[in-house]
Structure 1
Amino acid sequence: MSDNTSVQVSRTINAPADKVFEHLTLPANHVELDGSGFIRSVAHGDRIQAVGDVFTMNMEGDHMGGEYQTDNHVTAYGRNAVVGWATAPAGTEPPGWTWVWELEGEGTGATRVTLTYDWSKVTDKELLKKVSFPLVEESKLEDSLAKLSEALS
């Protein structure tokens, strides 16, 4: 599902919520989960443990003219339920887009995972002209969920 300021996809993963959460809270795992193809490696990133944590990723994409880094400021954290962050060019404050992974146990060792990419809080008009949101399409988010399913199977 997508609207004018967000894209959201869901999938049932055949793993319990605690296992999914453990996988998602280790930034290094997002290199293999990245459906967009932008993430290259982790520059700095211990396991996410609380809102306020920050991890840094090495990225690459034509939209930024090649290699760059992002700081990811954790904005949502609930054990076995949700983890999310606001992304910013390294060394800057987040300009308004977030990634949120929500987990809902389905009782049989499976978890419904919903991934939301939201840019509704981007207010910088120059940035909105420069970046054509959504930078990551719905199909790429679906790819991330497929990779998560594969990693945990």
Structure 2
Amino acid sequence: MTQHDGSISVTRSIDAPAKDVFEVLTLPRRHKELDGSGFVVSDDHTDRITGVGQVFTMNMQGDHMGGEYQTDNHVTAYDPNHMVGWKTAPAGTEPPGWEWLWELKSTSSDSTDVTLTYDWSKVTDRELLKKVGFPLVSQDQLEDSLNALASAVGPTHSA
């Protein structure tokens, strides 16, 4: 785990090929099962992520936003079997600066080191920083996401 001013990164080795991990990460309909924070409720008629510039919408729930809400997630990183990332924004708005980045490093034909980074260092709106109380997602919740990913791509849950 590394924590810098404005970001947290966690890494875990997952017993699955990078392509299988990437398959799960690029399907927004699977994100609820990966979400260690408990905020993701479901996807909103989303397609597989296939490149930078795509936007996918998620149905969310959280007291920090007064209950149910939606987010638009703008894909900012896409490198098949290596990296996928997005900046999140309240639906219908431009991203205010926080980003989720999943980096995959194949360590063998059936093992992948996965690093999940939650970065809010580019959020400049002081009112938003106070309202949301970054980091909104903890290191433990990020580690829970990696554990859920490991389960999602495990032998009994192939993608």
C-alpha distance in structure 2 between counterparts of 1:60 and 1:41, whole Å: 10
Q: CA RMSD in A?
A: 0.7
C-alpha distance in structure 1 between counterparts of 2:109 and 2:25, whole Å: 20
SS of residue in 2 equivalent to 1:23: helix
TM-score by length of 2: 0.95
Equivalent in the alignment of 1:85:
86
1:40-78 superposed Cα distances (whole Å, 9 cap, x missing partner): 011131000000011000000000000000000000000
- Superposed structure 1 runs of 4+ greater than 3 Å apart: none
Equivalent in the alignment of 2:58:
57
C-alpha distance in structure 1 between counterparts of 2:132 and 2:33, whole Å: 25
C-alpha distance in structure 2 between counterparts of 1:97 and 1:28, whole Å: 21
1:143 Cα shift?
0.1
1:22 Cα shift?
0.7
- Code of the residue aligned with 1:59 in structure 2: it is M
1:66-108 superposed Cα distances (whole Å, 9 cap, x missing partner): 0000000000000100000000000000000000000000014
Equivalent in the alignment of 1:47:
48
Equivalent in the alignment of 2:157:
none
SS of residue in 1 equivalent to 2:152: helix
1:4 Cα shift?
1.9
Find out whether 1:100 has 2:101 as its counterpart.
Answer: yes
The percentage of aligned residue pairs carrying the same residue is 66
Any residues of structure 2 matched to 1:63-74 within 5 Å, and which?
Answer: 63-74=64-75
- Code of the residue aligned with 1:39 in structure 2: it is V
- Code of the residue aligned with 1:109 in structure 2: it is D
TM-score by length of 1: 0.98
Equivalent in the alignment of 1:21:
22
